[in-house]
Chain A
Amino acid sequence: MASANSAEPRPAYLPDTVQSAVKILVTGPFGVGKTTLVGSLSEIAPLRTEETMTVAGTDVDDLTGRPDKTTTTVALDFGRITLNSRLALYLFGTPGQQRFWPLWEDLSRGALGAIALVDARRIEESFDVLGQLEEQRIPFAVAVNTFPDSPDHPEDELRAALDLLPEVPILRCDARDRRASYDVLIDFVDHLHSTAVLELQR
């Protein structure tokens, strides 16, 4: 029943054999490279979708003179990896700013975990999102996205500055590079797996 006026290009469908999907969030402050990482990993061109969110006007710093509630739109960029004939993985770029936290409950439900991207030149911009991940009890790893002028902080200094628990891995990546991005994702899932095995043995 394809309609004659349909201007939509044919989507990249999943194989019909896929039975279920899992998801991992990619989060961090604005401009840290979330969409770049998702794009390096995804088998499809990253897609953008939007969610509307009701917020109290007083909490919104870029809308003035509206004391009542208002709605704002949040853009989510995401990608997909078909892992095998039965299972797909979705990667959701999730904004880390505090004002988007009302969306997190829905986004994070069922997620395997989250990769928190940190820009070594401005680590303080990641403090809020790390707190949110801890508060929501979402398993996560920190991935330091390397930019050409990034300072090379030793890991122990970075761990102290970010106030991370010893079990939180600190990974390094260049989000523009497919292989480096895959290594981060594999190391993170490996960490989740080891943690799950340890929990089973307890």
Chain B
Amino acid sequence: MSGPVRPYVITGGRSRPSRNVLALESLVATVPGSAPEPGGLNREQQRILTICQELLSIAEIAAHLRLSLGVVKVLIGDLWDLGAVLVRPPVPQAERLPTTLLEEVLLGLRQLR
């Protein structure tokens, strides 16, 4: 059916992704040539693969496809498990507020101002 369904119907009822490192700002891109058989994916997963042919964050994918963030995280976790997308996780918080990262942010902002 193509009408509206409750949000988590398309994730098979799951509200948590298979990988818990996914954040709103995680960057996602389709792995070229790796697309699984389309029959094995639901419509929303195919839409994600289409829109992620270049790099976007999870939040952007959700906004463009008008899907809730939680649903997109679950679906991208599945696609990642299948090897269909590459995920660039956010900067790891090995130490709280690493100064070099903040310097890089500051420099970038000053150049753009």
Q: Which residues of A contact B (CB under 8 A)?
A: 1-3, 6, 8, 11, 13-16, 18-23, 47-52, 73, 76, 78, 80-81, 83-84, 87-90, 92, 106-107, 109-110, 112, 139, 179, 182-183, 185-186, 189-190, 192-193, 195-197, 199-200
Contacts and interface: CB of A to CB of B under 8 A. Distances in A.
B68 A51 contact: yes
Contacts of B97: 112, 139, 192, 195-196, 199
Contact of B110 (A80, A112, A186, A199): A186
A3 to B, nearest CB: 6
A199 B26 CA distance: 27
Given A47-B63, A112-B97, A190 B106 contact: yes
Task: Please classify the interface of chain A as helix (H, G, I), strand (E, B), loop, or mixed, using the class held by over half of its residues.
Answer: mixed
Contacts of A110: 23, 25, 90-91, 93
A103 to B, nearest CB: 9
B105 A22 contact: yes
B113 A186 contact: yes
For chain B, give the interface size range.
35 or more
A76 to B, nearest CB: 8
B106 A189 contact: yes
Given A22-B25, A109-B23, A192-B97, A185 B70 contact: no
Interface of B: 7, 23-27, 29, 35, 46, 49-51, 54-57, 59-60, 62-65, 68-70, 88-91, 93, 96-99, 101-110, 112-113
Nearest to A84: B108
A48 B24 CA distance: 13
Contacts of A139: 97
A200 B23 CA distance: 27
Of the listed residues B7, B24, B54, B55, the one surrounded by the most CB atoms of chain A closer than 10 A to its CB is B24
